[in-house]
Structure formats: C-alpha cells, structure tokens
C-alpha cells in the first residue's frame, strides 16, 4: 500500500519505517511541528529515519500566536495532554487526503502511558469509520505487547541512536521511554 507515515522521530517511528520496507509498502514520511517541547531533536530524528529508508519527507508547520499549540498542562507533558493524539491524527489524515493517499500509518501507541486512553481510543474509532482514510498502527502486532520488545529489536539498529523519544528537553531520564532506552543502551541524542 501507499501510505502517509506520521514520523515523530522516535523509536516507534523507526520501527514503523523498518516494517514498511519489510512489508513492501511505500511510505510518505510526515513530521508535524506544533512547537512541541522536543521539536528540534524530534524533527532531526524524523529526518534521519526517513533518510535511512530513502522516504520522501515533509513537514506540517503549525504556529499559534499564544505559544506552543501543545503545552505542558498540570504536570503532564505536551504529549500527555488529551488533544495531542487527535491533533496529529487529524493533520495527518488531512495531508493524506491532500496527497491522495488512502492509508495513514502511525507508530503512536495511543492507549499507553503517552495518551489519555479513553479519549484517544474514541478518536481513533471515529477515524476508522472514515470512508476516506484507513488508519494503520502496526506497532502492537509488530512488537507483541510492549515498548520493551520494540526497543530490544532496534537496539542494534544504527539509526536508533539518532532518534529522540522523550517528550522533554533535556530528556527527563525518568519517563518509561527514557528508562527503557537506558536499559537497552541506546544513546539519546541529548
């Protein structure tokens, strides 16, 4: 299939890119810049992932005069705020339609610690009713159950070290992604 690939610059996105090649899919990489806290390192990671698979790569740039569109709220990172998933899914689906692509592929593990489970599940269910865009999240079937399995698979991948997973700058060192990367010896980019 030809699909728009939401490339966030992290290990999950690298896993999706590698999966796409192995499965023979044509992925069009898209990074969405909403001024998120980790945007510079994440954007660099996304470029490296796209380059490693020789994918075309584009960016959606969203700016709000009031500051970052997705900002830290009440102790949550921008990624943990309820609307972050739907923002990325909506913009990705919009670009997919603009490019005439019927599939949207994401490595985002909605329903995990990253996202508000109920809200994101409901939004993804809504997206899946769309007759225009089919939503594909290969990470779970790829990895079995957990993030650890994804990381273990990618620990020997040279591009893994160019990805950035933490929602914070500098990396927090305490979130599950940081802990997992450290456990598998994947050097962070900052």
**Residues at the site binding Zn ion, with contacts judged by CB under 5 A:** 166, 171-172, 175, 178
Give me the residues paired with residue 29 across strands.
Answer: 5, 57
In this complex, which beta carbon is closest to Zn ion, that of residue 38 or of residue 143? 38
Q: How far is the CB of 117 from Zn ion (least distance, A)?
A: 20
Q: How far is the CB of 190 from Zn ion (least distance, A)?
A: 11
- With left for phi above 0 and alpha for psi between -120 and 50, is residue 14 left, alpha or beta? alpha
Element (H, E) at 124: helix 117-128
In this complex, which beta carbon is closest to Zn ion, that of residue 39 or of residue 93? 39
In this complex, which beta carbon is closest to Zn ion, that of residue 1 or of residue 169? 169
In this complex, which beta carbon is closest to Zn ion, that of residue 143 or of residue 180? 180
Written as six digits, the tokens of 58 are: 């584009």
In this complex, which beta carbon is closest to Zn ion, that of residue 21 or of residue 176? 176
Rounded distance, CA 162 to CA 124, Å? 29
Closest CA to 15 of 157, 178, 124, 188: 157
Q: How far is the CB of 178 from Zn ion (least distance, A)?
A: 3
Q: How far is the CB of 23 from Zn ion (least distance, A)?
A: 30
**Quick count: other Cβ atoms within 10 Å of Cβ 184?**
17
Give me the residues paired with residue 32 across strands.
Answer: 60
Residues 6+ apart with CB under 8 A from 185: 155
Q: How far is the CB of 77 from Zn ion (least distance, A)?
A: 8
Written as six digits, the tokens of 70 are: 């997705």
């Amino acid at each position: 299939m030809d699909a728009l690939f939401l490339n966030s610059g992290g290990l999950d996105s690298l896993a999706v890119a590698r999966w796409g090649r192995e499965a023979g899919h044509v992925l069009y990489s898209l990074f969405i810049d909403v001024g998120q806290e980790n945007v510079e390192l994440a954007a660099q990671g996304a470029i490296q992932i796209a380059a490693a698979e020789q994918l075309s790569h584009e960016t959606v740039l969203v700016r709000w005069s009031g500051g970052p569109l997705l900002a830290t709220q009440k102790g949550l990172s921008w990624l943990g705020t309820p609307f972050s998933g739907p923002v990325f899914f909506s913009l990705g689906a919009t670009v997919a339609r603009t490019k005439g692509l019927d599939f949207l592929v994401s490595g985002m593990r909605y329903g995990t610690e990253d996202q508000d489970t109920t809200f994101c599940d409901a939004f993804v269910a809504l997206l899946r009713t769309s007759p225009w865009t089919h939503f594909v999240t290969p990470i779970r079937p790829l990895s079995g159950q957990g993030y650890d399995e994804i990381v273990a698979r990618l620990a020997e991948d040279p591009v893994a070290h160019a990805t950035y997973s933490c929602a914070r700058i500098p990396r927090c060192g305490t979130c599950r992604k940081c802990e997992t990367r450290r456990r598998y010896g994947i050097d962070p980019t900052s």
